[in-house]
A = this chain, B = another copy of it.
Amino acid sequence: MTTAARTLDEQAAALDAEDVLAPVRERFLIPDGLVYLDGNSLGPLPAAVPPVLTDVVHRQWGTDLIRSWNSNDWWQAPLRVGDAVGRLVGAAPGQTVVGDSTSVQLYTALSAAAGLLPGRRLLVTDPGHFPTDRYLAESVARLHGLRVRPVPPGELERCLAAEGDDVCVVSYSPVDYRTGELYDMRALTAATHRAGALSLWDLCHAAGALPVHLDDLGVDFAVGCGYKFLSGGPGAPAFLYAARRHHEDWRTPLNGWTGHADPFGLQPDYTPAPGVARARIGTPPILSLLALKAALTAFEGIDMAQVRAKSLSLTGFFLSCAEEMLTGLGFEAVTPAEPARRASQVSLRHPHAYGLIRSLADQGVVADMRAPDLLRFGVNALYTSHQDVLTAVGRLRRTAANGAYDPSPQQAGTVT
Contacts and interface: CB of A to CB of B under 8 A. Distances in A.
In the A-B complex, the 6 residue pairs with the closest CB atoms? A101-B282, A103-B282, A103-B256, A285-B288, A234-B286, A45-B62
A371 B266 contact: yes
Interface string A56-94: 011011110111111000110000000000000000000
B254 A139 contact: yes
Contacts of A67: 361, 366, 414
Contact of A38 (B66, B70, B264): B66
A63 to B, nearest CB: 5
Interface stretch (A124-132, A325-333, A341-349): A124-132
A235 B65 contact: no
B284 A130 contact: no
Interface of A: 29, 31, 34, 36, 38, 41-42, 44-45, 49-50, 53-54, 57-58, 60-63, 65-70, 74-75, 99-104, 107, 127, 130-132, 134-136, 138-139, 143, 225, 227, 233-238, 253-257, 260, 264-270, 281-289, 291, 361, 366, 368, 370-371, 411-415
Contacts of A286: 233-235, 288
A287 B288 contact: yes
A264 B411 CA distance: 8
Given A65-B42, A66-B415, A136 B256 contact: yes
A63 B238 CA distance: 23
Total copies of this chain within the assembly = 2
A136 to B, nearest CB: 6
Contact of A283 (B54, B234, B256, B268): B234
27 contacts: A29-B58, A42-B66, A44-B65, A45-B61, A45-B62, A50-B57, A65-B366, A66-B414, A68-B234, A69-B413, A69-B415, A70-B413, A101-B256, A101-B284, A101-B285, A102-B283, A103-B281, A107-B253, A135-B256, A135-B257, A136-B255, A138-B255, A138-B269, A234-B286, A235-B283, A235-B285, A285-B285
Nearest to A225: B283
Contacts of A104: 100, 104, 254, 256, 281-282
A63 B286 CA distance: 23
Given A34-B65, A227-B283, 6 more contacts: A29-B62, A67-B366, A101-B284, A130-B257, A134-B270, A135-B257
Contacts of A103: 254-257, 281-282
- Residue among A34, A103, A371 with most chain B CB within 10 A: A103
Contacts of A234: 60-61, 68-69, 74, 283, 286-287
B44 A62 contact: yes
Contacts of A289: 235, 285
